[in-house]
Structure 1
Amino acid sequence: MFKSSLFLLIPMMFFLSGMKQSSPLKGAEAPDFELKSPKGKTVKLSKMRGKMVLIDFWASWCRPCRGENPNVVQAYEKYNKRKFKNGKGFEILSVSLDRDESKWIQAIEADGLVWKNHGWDQDGAVSKLYGVSSIPKAFLIDGDGKIVASGNEVRGMNLHLTLDDQLDN
């Protein structure tokens, strides 16, 4: 009986391990990760605890991503020093899916992405961890490391409205 159970269990484990990772849900703890920055240093999500953080998955070759960048820059400039219900300050952690490091760095400069937290998801591990199957994709994380919003809630003017809702008035 035990051998026949193993015979069924092992193929099922391989099948399940190949399934697409789903995105973490609102209210869930944001999975921690670390990535290489353009300057070769390490950028780690958990080092930003205590602040509101927008994790923004993008790439230099993604037109919708590049079109969203001016809005993200505007949000950063407006909210980076603000106090939130559950976080002091607002940071952006840009996660690039680029394959070409030089194009990624050129896009950061060209789009004026002035924040310091940029990470290169060269092997796609972080994208997989967050269930990112298309970009742009973003997650808003509170000071306790919980996901408070994602998807359309943090795109375009909705990003500003969502951040306004999180402000400590």
Structure 2
Amino acid sequence: MMSNIEQSCSTETFSSSSSSLVLNLREMFMKLTNDVICRVAMGRKYSDREEGHGRTFMELSAKLSELFTKVNIGDYIPWLAWFTCVNGLDAKLDDLAKRMDAFVDMVIQEHMDKSNNGNDGDDNEDKKDLVYVLLLVQKENALGYPIDRVIAKATILVCN
């Protein structure tokens, strides 16, 4: 983040005291927070909009934020809960849930493939993320009850 700020300042030309530099710190802090959470939970950053998975994750995050701002009248007046079917909110939420589920499933599959290839990073503690730990607990049955894929996906979604 600091290098992005420095780069923005160095590319901006100042001609006089009337010229000023404007940085969108809100966007920078959101990207930083997103990157930290994604690195801890899923092992890599997903803030790159040009990359396939990064673009998908950013679109899903934006759609999730947008849907959180919508008012669900059924939460306040239960007998009007049917209205979310009419205004399309239910369909949008179902679509987003399916897309998020597919994305997290893809992340878990990537980790499983990496683990099956013998590249699970036992020698490097920095590479161990939440998905890696959940898969390790699942493999060793360390908790005494099985952790299936659904529980792993739910845990990852709650963390994000």
Q: TM-score, normalised by structure 2?
A: 0.25
Structure scoring higher RCO (CA < 8 A, sep ≥ 6) equals: 1
Q: Which has the higher helix share?
A: 2
The structure that is strand-richer by fraction is 1
TM-score (norm 1): 0.24
Structure ID, larger Rg: 2
